[in-house]
Amino acid sequence: MLGYVMTEERGGTDRLLAQLAEGFEAEGRRVIGAVQINSELPNQVKCRMELRLLPSGERVTISQSLGALASGCRLDPDGLERAVHHAETALEGGAELVLINKFGKQEIEGRGFRDLIAAALAEGIPVLLGVNRKNFGAFQAYAGDFAEPVAAELSAMRDWCLGMWAGKM
C-alpha cells in the first residue's frame, strides 16, 4: 500500500502528483497530503517551492531565500511542519489516499511526513509519494520491500490507486 514515483525531469514528479490529486478531487475522492508547486521567480536562479495542501487547496511556502550565492538547503522547516500538521489533521477526518510530494531529507531524518506515512499505512490507507535518486537508498532503508515502484505516468499512477482501493473492498 506504499507506492513511489520517480522521474528524471526536474519537477516532473511534482506535476504528475498534482495532476493525479486534481483528477481524484474532481471525482470527489478524499485525498489528503501535499503536492508541490514550483514557481519561477523573476531575476532568481531558484524557484519558489510551495505545497498545495490536500484537500483544502491552501498553499504553504516551503522554501526560503538564502541569497544568490547560497548553496545550502533552501527548505523552510517551519513551512513543512505546518503542511505536515495540516495533513495529520486531515487524516483524522478520514481519507482514501495520501499523496506526498517527496520523501526527502526531513523524512530521512525521522521528521517531515514520516509519521503521517506510518499512520496512514496502519489505517490501511494507500500512500503514493515522490522519491528522487539522491534519496532513494534512504527511502529503501525506510520502506524495505513494502514499497513498490509505480510508473511515472498519470494513467499508471491512477491505476495503482484504483487497484489499492479495489483490494480493500
Number of domains in the chain: 1
How confident is the model over 39-48, as a mean pLDDT? Answer: 56
| Chain position carrying cell 500538521 | 85
Q: Residue 116 above 60 pLDDT?
A: yes
pTM metric for this prediction: 0.89
In a domain, 51, yes or no: no
Q: Identify the pLDDT of residue 72.
A: 44
Residue 6 lies in a domain: yes
pLDDT score of 48 more than 80: no
Q: 31 phi and psi, to 5 degrees?
A: -110, 130
Q: Is residue 58 part of a domain?
A: no
Predicted confidence at residue 44, as pLDDT, reads 53
* pLDDT over 60 (residue 71): no
Give the pLDDT band of residue 55 (cuts 50, 70, 90): very high
Structural domain including 107 reads: 2-34+77-168
What is the pLDDT averaged over residues 130-150?
95
Domain-embedded: residue 109? yes
Q: What is the pLDDT of residues 1-24, one digit of tens each?
A: 999 999 999 889 999 999 999 999
Q: How far apart are CA 100 and CA 116, in angstroms?
A: 10
Does 64 map to a domain? no
| Residue 66 counted as domain residue | no
Separate counts of helices (H) and strands (E) for the chain: 6, 7
Whole-number pLDDT of residue 79: 84
Asked whether residue 66 carries a pLDDT value surpassing 60, the answer given is no
Q: Which strands form 147-149's sheet, in the order they lie side by side? A: 59-61, 48-54, 31-39, 97-100, 127-130, 2-5, 147-149
For residue 147, being part of any structural domain is answered with yes
Can you tell me the mean pLDDT for 116-136? 96
Q: What is the CATH number of the domain that holds 146?
A: 3.40.50
Residue 141 falls within a domain, yes or no? yes
Higher pLDDT, 40 or 63: 63
